[in-house]
Amino acid sequence: MSENKQAAEQEAVPVIKERKRWLFLGLPFTFTRYELDGKRLKLCRGFLNTTEDDLLLYRVMDVTVSRTLFQRMAGLGTMTIVSTDKTNPTLAVTNIKRVHAFKDALDARVESERMRMRFRAGEITETDFDGDMQTN
């Protein structure tokens, strides 16, 4: 019964979509899209040849927002995500509008997914504080 309830809650989470934009006037003439749902951040690139890559939200370790002068003038921002993902350990979500709203939604969903998966940040690291590998 609780699994059905969790599945219904995950489906009820709206998908947030953003596009990478040109820095010039913030026009969305690129073929890079970001989609945030309840479990993953999907990165879709390309026009003729397309690539889709998923970053599972419970793997996210840190999120940083930065804005250059030209990004601020165009109303854009860059969000840098540090994770334990093998293909994208550091993912830069560049030149998106509403960067702070996107970051807030990402933070809330990361926390929700960690609670659902019963993960703590210390459980998904592979090294201890000395930098050598842990043995169990």
Model pLDDT for residues 46-76, shown as the tens digit of each residue: 988 999 999 999 999 999 999 999 999 989 9
Residue 17 resides in a domain: yes
The range of the structural domain enclosing residue 56 comes to 2-119
Residue 114 resides in a domain: yes
CATH number at residue 51: 2.30.29.30
Model confidence pLDDT, tens digit, residues 70-105: 999 989 999 999 999 888 899 999 999 999 999 999
Chain centroid to CA 52: how far? 13
Cα radius of gyration rounded to whole Å, the chain: 17
Q: For the purposes of burial, counting CB atoms within 10 Å of the CB of 105, is it exposed (0-12), middle (13-18) or buried (19 or more)?
A: middle
Residue 7 resides in a domain: yes
Higher-confidence residue of 74 and 24: namely 74
Residue 102 resides in a domain: yes
Higher-confidence residue of 11 and 64: namely 64
User: What's the domain count of the chain?
Assistant: 1
Residue 136 resides in a domain: no
